[in-house]
Chain A
């Protein structure tokens, strides 16, 4: 830890203590998730249900009970002079409630929002003092960028060797065939030509896109290659992994751009938003990974573990300064895509798939819990008859054409499946229409398990 970071940590800790003393705590909740895990919908539902709960609706009963019914008001903190765009829950809710409904587009930039709770004090003497005000800071960001964090602890050579080795195996090899042919054909001392750099970058980026969109893989680096954000594809991105032994001008150019890229990500992403937070929720689309096949399932677990090693892996000094989360929840999202009896299995499966990540968090002294949640419930339980036997299924309305459908999502194992499991083949879960919603959000939105997750995460702080 460098002296500047240490000083900032000390100042932040002092600020936290002062805020707690005057009853104005600020909780930074890191909502972490790989791409398509459902962060934007999770935040929209969380905000809508919290605001409705602040008006007396029983949208989050477990959280309300955890707080002893002392939540008096919940409101969005007015905007200050932030340079970061503001997360717009009303727009997302309006799109979900519209006819026809629209799910949020892929997140392409940061956005933040703070929500404040007025909470009655616990003690009897507290009646003489004004209510406590607890502020919850939330951030939405492209999930792809999260995979840049493990790169911060790697040099270009190590990252290149690891990435090219990974590209030569399994489904990645097919997706990256053109790219691998290109880099294998380059001379070891290739000159620093921008045309070569850009060609390599384009082929590598296209390979990453195929891995993500066709094979459902998530451990894809660098994140901005897949989601460049509002600044677009700047020359900073024109690098790619080179095989071991590459030493020429092109290798130097790629190494310089790699370092500059990481510095930029550190300055704009990690330091402002991930250097210090109090609670963390890791969202995992474990069902999507299960349906995408063995490679995607293993890849998701590897990606989670790699990210957790940076985010949750705090040392003793960081723990002492309060820079490490004290509670980390792993949540399997889209729990409404399986029938009620399979949701416990989903939570158990996320416990297994996040084994490496949980280990990192627990080593840091954080309490860890696993959940299955649906930020917005889009299905109801049903029974389907398959091959002459009745099986538990879910029923919903398809987004594409509005037709009703019963979906049998397959077996949900409670632990990583045996090889025979994958013989069932791949499956693509269709998108559902959200249920009927109040566009004004007065009643929040239907969910599964969101209240229990929040009660565990922040209930003790209210």
Chain B
């Protein structure tokens, strides 16, 4: 058919016998090109299973032990039983409140993933719901984007970016600068490098939690660890930048006298810069929308 040069059958249109409009063709394109879902998690890791088992054992056995003890106290005297029950309920109540708060802080970070995934796949309804839920968690004084219900996706993202995310990024940068000043000062006056590292770690974790709080997150211990994992990728960039800045500063200040005078200041400058970049990386990790 494709190479023949003869006249062959002439082109023609053969209309369907049915005169009613035919449905439009459907190639099932949406399903054919749908993004391949990433493989699901393989369940809990061994350390997580160990930790969860130990926690269940400790808490469960403690509860059973406390129950037995309360029952024994009731056998001795009613008032003693009630008093023991109140003490046990108060103590376990505080423990469970702490666990609940940890879990909530940890799960709140998942909303970032949900919002970004909805944005990536163009799911406007989910994105709008996630953004509204996220805005509801922001501190009361923080400006919010209103009237998202009637807007197209692009406008929703642009408004949330301008109204909420940009001011948060500015505040995060301010927190980073404040932490940088402190890190610089501590490094300059610190008597030992070991203390430097300790102060830096403490101030860094505090900075990460402060920036997360700007985004409406209240990470507990588990939440902070999760957040630090998110920041890790950007932190690799921070480390790479550090090497370059450190080398440059020390290269510029190579004179012996100048090095003596400014050597510690140079180390402090590197530490300060690290704080500024850490604030920026944390802000990036907590954003509900990818940077435009």
Q: Do A and B bind each other?
A: yes
Pairwise interchain contact B8-A403, C-beta atoms closer than 8 A = no
Taking CB atoms and an 8 Å cut-off, the chain B residues in 142-174 that contact chain A are none
Mostly, the B contact residues are loop
Residue of A whose beta carbon sits closest to that of B1 = A411
Q: Say if the beta carbon of B30 comes within 8 Å of chain A.
A: yes
Q: Say if the beta carbon of B258 comes within 8 Å of chain A.
A: no
Total residues of chain B contacting the partner, CB 8 A? 41
Q: Say if the beta carbon of B9 comes within 8 Å of chain A.
A: yes
Pairwise interchain contact B12-A386, C-beta atoms closer than 8 A = yes
Q: Say if the beta carbon of B240 comes within 8 Å of chain A.
A: yes
- Which A residues contact B (CB, under 8 angstroms)? 52, 55-59, 73, 75, 78, 101, 127-130, 291, 341-342, 344-345, 377-380, 384, 386-387, 391-393, 396-398, 401-414, 417-418, 420-421, 423-425, 427, 429-430, 433-436, 438, 440-446
Interfacial chain A residues near B29, Cβ < 8 Å = 435, 443-446
Interfacial chain A residues near B9, Cβ < 8 Å = 386-387, 391, 408, 410, 424
Q: Mark B257-292, 1 if CB is under 8 A from A, else 0.
A: 000000000000000000000000000000000101
Other 16 A-B pairs with CB < 8 A, given A52-B33, A408-B9 = A56-B36, A57-B35, A58-B32, A128-B237, A387-B9, A391-B1, A392-B1, A404-B15, A407-B12, A409-B11, A411-B1, A421-B7, A427-B12, A433-B25, A441-B122, A446-B29
Evaluate whether A380 and B33 lie within 8 angstroms (CB atoms) in the complex, with A405-B13, A405-B16 already known.
no
Pairwise interchain contact B11-A418, C-beta atoms closer than 8 A = no
How far does the alpha carbon of A57 sit from the alpha carbon of B6 in the complex, in Å? 44
Interfacial chain A residues near B16, Cβ < 8 Å = 403-406
How far does the alpha carbon of A436 sit from the alpha carbon of B32 in the complex, in Å? 14
Report the minimal beta-carbon distance from A414 to chain B, rounded to whole angstroms: 5
Q: Say if the beta carbon of B3 comes within 8 Å of chain A.
A: yes
Pairwise interchain contact A402-B25, C-beta atoms closer than 8 A = no
How far does the alpha carbon of A291 sit from the alpha carbon of B120 in the complex, in Å? 44
Report the minimal beta-carbon distance from B252 to chain A, rounded to whole angstroms: 23
Mostly, the A contact residues are loop
Pairwise interchain contact A421-B6, C-beta atoms closer than 8 A = yes
Evaluate whether A397 and B24 lie within 8 angstroms (CB atoms) in the complex, with A387-B9, A410-B11 already known.
yes
Q: From A75, A378, A410, A417, give the contact of B5 (CB < 8 A).
A: A417
Evaluate whether A443 and B11 lie within 8 angstroms (CB atoms) in the complex, with A420-B6, A435-B24, A435-B29 already known.
no
Report the minimal beta-carbon distance from A358 to chain B, rounded to whole angstroms: 21
Q: From B1, B11, B237, give the contact of A424 (CB < 8 A).
A: B11
Interfacial chain B residues near A345, Cβ < 8 Å = 2-3
Residue of A whose beta carbon sits closest to that of B233 = A127
Q: From A55, A401, A418, give the contact of B121 (CB < 8 A).
A: A55
Pairwise interchain contact B34-A57, C-beta atoms closer than 8 A = yes
Evaluate whether A58 and B26 lie within 8 angstroms (CB atoms) in the complex, with A410-B11, A414-B2 already known.
no
Q: From A411, A424, A438, give the contact of B30 (CB < 8 A).
A: A438
Interfacial chain B residues near A413, Cβ < 8 Å = 2-5
Q: From B5, B21, B23, B34, give the contact of A421 (CB < 8 A).
A: B5
Q: Say if the beta carbon of B77 comes within 8 Å of chain A.
A: no
Q: Say if the beta carbon of B22 comes within 8 Å of chain A.
A: yes
Pairwise interchain contact B11-A427, C-beta atoms closer than 8 A = yes
